[in-house]
Amino acid sequence: MSEKTSGAVSKLQLSTPEISPKTVSKLITLKVKRYDPDAGRYKLSIYRISVTRFDTVLDALLKVVRDQDHTLSVRYSCRMGICGSCAMMINGVPRLACMTNAISLGDVIEIEPLKNFPPVKDLFVDMDQMFRKHRSVKPWLIRRDEEEQFTAKKEYLQKPEEVDAYRLFSTCIKCGACMAACPTVASNPDFLGPMVLAQAYRWSADSRDEGAHIRFDIVDNPNGVFGCHFAGACSAVCPKNSDPALAIQLLRKSILRGKR
């Protein structure tokens, strides 16, 4: 398995072949690149496992943990594409293991931890830096009236078109797939990254928010919105089709227009 991530992830890589209705179960090979914290290096574990046509990659990994190797560490929670916990590299592409059909990927599936994150153990990665960056852009509603900020006196109703301004970007589940696919994150650890910048726009585009100018000041620099080279890999791999690349361009446009 390659140590490097391609600059952009093509749509072809993300296509899923049709599964024959006649396929009941199949024996596949999982090649799992695991990080060993004691040795400070990666090692490759190979497993042969039987999967059904309905099994996901996460199902296959959990079968391995249950039946073959209790030491394999896998992070997961909801199993339904909501929590974002099980994001990992699957055949070189950042995906949610719980939403990726196993049989459709062929006889051999290569699995490794998310790129661009410090490894912790096996398929676990450390996401602390991503969430620190996320918090830095103040991903919440900001009101000029401090009392109103914490003790609202009324509901802030929105028209459908006001919700539409940010609805697409509010579906982000913070799984880190876009960060793993981003070539700028790979080359510049100080770059805020697509998830963070997209959320900066999501909250700034909210009609109830009065803190866009604060976020603009935070992201208006080479490590912020102007560090994006617009490879589009982030949107290509987003499991929720949240389109962070579009959000970044809208954020850049807002800053350049001086919309405060």
| Residue-wise pLDDT tens digits, 137-157 | 999 999 988 888 888 888 889
How high is the pLDDT of residue 7? 43
How high is the pLDDT of residue 10? 44
Query: 179 with 195: CB under 8 angstroms?
Result: yes
β-pairing verdict for 93-96 and 41-52: unpaired
- Strand, helix or coil at 95? strand
- Distance CA(202)–CA(193), nearest Å, equals 14
- Distance CA(238)–CA(20), nearest Å, equals 26
Query: 216 with 72: CB under 8 angstroms?
Result: no
Task: Read off the pTM.
Answer: 0.89
| Residue-wise pLDDT tens digits, 148-188 | 888 888 888 999 999 999 999 999 999 999 999 999 999 99
In the chain the domains, ranked by start, together with CATH numbers, are 11-125 (3.10.20.30), 128-256 (1.10.1060.10)
For residue 28, give the H/E element and its range.
strand 25-36
Taking only the tens of pLDDT, the chain with its 260 residues reads: 333 444 445 444 555 556 565 567 899 999 999 999 999 999 999 999 999 999 999 999 999 999 999 999 999 999 999 999 999 999 999 999 999 999 999 999 999 999 999 999 999 999 999 999 999 999 999 998 888 888 888 888 999 999 999 999 999 999 999 999 999 999 999 999 999 999 999 999 999 999 999 999 999 999 999 999 999 999 999 999 999 999 999 999 999 998 54
- Token pair 């059909």 in the structure block, residue: 101
